[in-house]
């Protein structure tokens, strides 16, 4: 599997085929917070089964780097000599990663499911609706072994939405 982590085309395929089925309805909050997610995908060796990854992404407040003034410029911080915008807005995300293990902790839970992928996805969506959970994203991954790539897709879609405002 380590060779697949080096295969940029394969990783691009995983990224492109990831579907964000449900975005959190509460949006991103201005301070530090956690962003829960449920990622579902097929089990690699048994296509009639699925794998569920539940976790939380820790999100920083917005970070604004202002050019000029008393602080360092963007060019001084990042070694950039080209002309840059006066403000750079960003966020920092972090999440746990575990490969090839059955793992359960406060931060991350990976469980194999006896149900077929779409049946399990339906069950996850019903659970969230029944419990009226609005802050959890749901992600459909083509290959859960590479779920960090699918999480990257999820984060990018949320950032696109946030920074458009």
pLDDT tens-place string over residues 38-59: 999 998 888 789 999 999 887 7
What is the value of pTM for the model shown?
A: 0.70
Q: Mean per-residue pLDDT for 18-25?
A: 91
Report residue 157 as tokens: 């879609």
Report the share of the chain in percent with pLDDT over 90: 32
- Closest of 120, 8, 130 to residue 53, by C-alpha: 120
* Better pLDDT: 127 or 98: 127
Answer whether 18's CB lies under 8 Å from 149's CB: yes
Highest mean pLDDT among 24-33, 70-79, 101-110, 129-138: 129-138
Residue 19: per-residue pLDDT: 96
Whole-angstrom CA distances from 43 to 28, 46, 136, 164 are: 31, 5, 22, 36
* Better pLDDT: 92 or 114: 114
């Amino acid at each position: 599997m380590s060779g697949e982590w080096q295969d940029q085309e394969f990783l691009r395929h995983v990224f492109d085929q990831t579907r964000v089925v449900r975005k959190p309805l509460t949006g991103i909050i201005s301070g530090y917070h956690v962003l829960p997610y449920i990622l579902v995908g097929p089990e690699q060796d048994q296509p009639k089964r699925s794998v569920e990854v539940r976790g939380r992404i820790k999100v920083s407040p917005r970070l604004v780097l202002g050019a000029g003034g008393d602080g360092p410029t963007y060019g001084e911080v990042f070694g950039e000599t080209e002309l840059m915008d006066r403000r750079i807005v960003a966020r920092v995300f972090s999440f746990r990663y575990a490969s090839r293990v059955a793992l359960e902790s406060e931060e991350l839970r990976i469980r194999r499911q006896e149900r077929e992928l779409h049946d399990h996805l339906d069950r996850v969506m019903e659970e969230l609706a029944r419990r009226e959970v609005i802050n959890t994203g749901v992600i459909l991954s083509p290959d859960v072994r590479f779920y960090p790539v699918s999480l990257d897709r999820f984060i990018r879609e949320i950032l696109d939405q946030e920074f458009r405002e």
